[in-house]
Amino acid sequence: MVFTENKIISLFLILLFLGLDLKAQTPKNNDSVPSTWELLKYDGVSAFGGLKKTYSQPLKWQKDDFLTAGAVVAGTAVLYIFDDEANEWFRNQEDDIPMFIQDFGWYYGSPQNNYAVNGAVYLYGLFTRNEKVRRTGVLMISAATTAGIIQSILKTAVGRARPKEGLGKGDFKPFSNEPNYHSFPSGHTILSFTTAYALSKQFKNPFVKAGIIGIGLIPPASRLWEGAHWLTDVGLSMALSILVVDSIDNYLTKERDYGQKEDSGISWKFNVGLGRIGVTGTF
């Protein structure tokens, strides 16, 4: 079976809408019902506000936030030790991976397809006036944009060589315009995992969450199979996705009026202590 770009996006959207709670939420007082244009403006401000909130958040960091940042840096440093071995192992698996999974990894992590999915989710929520789906769409779009801008800047500034070029994990050419030196971080990983993680937070069932997260891990794995990124590129990108989504999710809950949010998401916490570094997910 040949999976085309449109088939992959369509299948993902069908599964998505079947899984989300699609029961429309209509205010009791019809006189106070906002127009579609008013909702669109409000959501646009919310999405941009989430972006600003995330970028300004480091200025307000507390002790725990610095510990989290330190854990991410330390974790990336540990992965760096195994970059060569991980690259060799993943490259050896490529021939055994079914082609439709490889195709999905590429298409789902591509910016145009990722934003098509995010946009479809938001527009469905907007025109059906489903507040839960609408808020999910705002979160997905805002998080993908926020994390995407960060990775675009870092990719050029860091200038790390891709493994498939035969260069070492320590080869860098900062501010290079050559695509072969745009390995760190992984754009496919950031977009796909940001979308998957944001979506997973909307469900209570741990098996559904795990399934969504699993789908979001396919593009990162595909980039490792292809030798497009090192393990550290993918690891840092996933950590960045989690931090961005959680920041914007908290902003939408505390500072924007999208109703009472249920505690339906998975919560990630970085743990740092004497002799230990880890991350814990709470369902």
pLDDT digits (tens, 9 = 90+) for 99-133: 888 888 888 888 888 898 899 999 999 999 988 89
Using a cut of 0.75, tell me whether the model's pTM lies above it: yes
Instruction: Give the three-class secondary structure for 236.
Output: helix
Give strand ranges (E) for the chain. Answer: 267-273, 276-282
Per-domain boundaries in the chain? 5-19+34-282
Domain 5-19+34-282 has CATH 1.20.144: yes
For residue 131, give the nearest of 267, 262, 243, 254 by alpha carbon.
262
Cα 185-188-194 angle, rounded to 5 deg: 90
Which residue positions in the chain have pLDDT lower than 50?
Answer: 1-3, 22-29, 260-266, 270, 272-277, 283
